[in-house]
Amino acid sequence: MAVLGVDVGGTKLLMLAGEPGNPRSRKVATGPDFTPAQLKQALAAFIQDLGEPVERIGIALPGLVIGDHELRLSDVLPALQGLKADDLASLAGRVRLINDVRAALHHETAAEPNVDTAVVMIGTGIGAAIQQGGRVLEGSRGWAGELGSIPLATDDGPRTLDQLASGASLLARAGVDAATLNARLAAGDPVTQALVHQAGHCLGLGIATLVNLLNPQRIVLGGGTLHYPGYLQAALDAAQRHSLEDLWNACSITRSGNPEQMAALGAQRFAAR
């Protein structure tokens, strides 16, 4: 019987089944108006095409997840707020929900469960998940890791890291879609380059906060916003500049080796537990 891993993002839904090295997968477009009914329909169609019973489904979602059964809050996918695992119970023997960055953490720490690790995802929004001493740092309600909500001082007053460094905020400030932004960067447009550099700089302040506060051994970065030329380097430069030297030197920072599937693979692993 199959175990499904699902990553519901701000722009696309990724579903996969099978072994991590060679999974069967499918993508479906999402967006802020993506509903529970649309999610269930997409999952049902994928399961039907698999041609085998599904024992478990793990679903990674952006936002605050209660236990493994309800999406309480999601500014990325507001139409999915209130989604419960029971709403999808007819699709498999068991359905479990998990925050998307925490799912990515499950994937990234599977081979090294005792390494203090932080995963930071930078897509439509920004989130983090942290493992210390072999345990996931959950917080009193299980919602630790909302890195995108930390406030930063600006000339216009406090703004959240999401408002300053996320993919959605970058596109909003540029007033274009991702393809046009990439085209402008490729053409060397100085205004666009400056926007990307400033967003990356702000992400670096968030990374430095993690380094200085938690002293992790490694930080793994993922998410589509990292693909914009200049963004990652600006982030790393700012993070190093604003981190304590000894803490910075004790921490490795890398991009995920499988950024497209890390959350879905982690959700699959979470479901199989």
Q: Please check whether residues 218 and 135 belong to one and the same domain.
A: yes
Q: Please check whether residues 201 and 92 belong to one and the same domain.
A: no
Q: Please check whether residues 247 and 265 belong to one and the same domain.
A: no
Q: Please check whether residues 127 and 74 belong to one and the same domain.
A: no
Q: For residue 22, what pLDDT is reported?
A: 75
Q: Please check whether residues 49 and 82 belong to one and the same domain.
A: yes
Q: Please check whether residues 204 and 266 belong to one and the same domain.
A: no
Task: Residue 247: give the domain boundaries.
Answer: 114-255
Q: Please check whether residues 16 and 29 belong to one and the same domain.
A: yes
Q: For residue 222, what pLDDT is reported?
A: 95
How far, in Å, CA of 269 to CA of 151, rounded?
33
| Prediction pTM value | 0.91
Q: For residue 197, what pLDDT is reported?
A: 98
Q: Number of folded domains in the chain?
A: 2
Q: Please check whether residues 180 and 81 belong to one and the same domain.
A: no
Q: Please check whether residues 34 and 140 belong to one and the same domain.
A: no
Q: For residue 246, what pLDDT is reported?
A: 98
- pLDDT tens for each residue of the chain, 273 residues long: 899 999 999 999 999 998 877 789 999 999 999 999 999 999 999 999 998 999 999 999 999 999 999 999 998 999 999 999 999 999 999 999 999 999 999 999 999 999 999 999 999 999 999 999 999 999 998 889 999 999 999 999 999 999 999 999 999 999 999 999 999 999 999 999 999 999 999 999 999 999 999 999 999 999 999 999 999 999 999 999 999 999 999 999 999 999 889 999 999 999 998
Q: Please check whether residues 14 and 98 belong to one and the same domain.
A: yes
Q: Please check whether residues 156 and 90 belong to one and the same domain.
A: no
Q: Please check whether residues 124 and 55 belong to one and the same domain.
A: no
Q: What's 223's domain CATH number?
A: 3.30.420.40
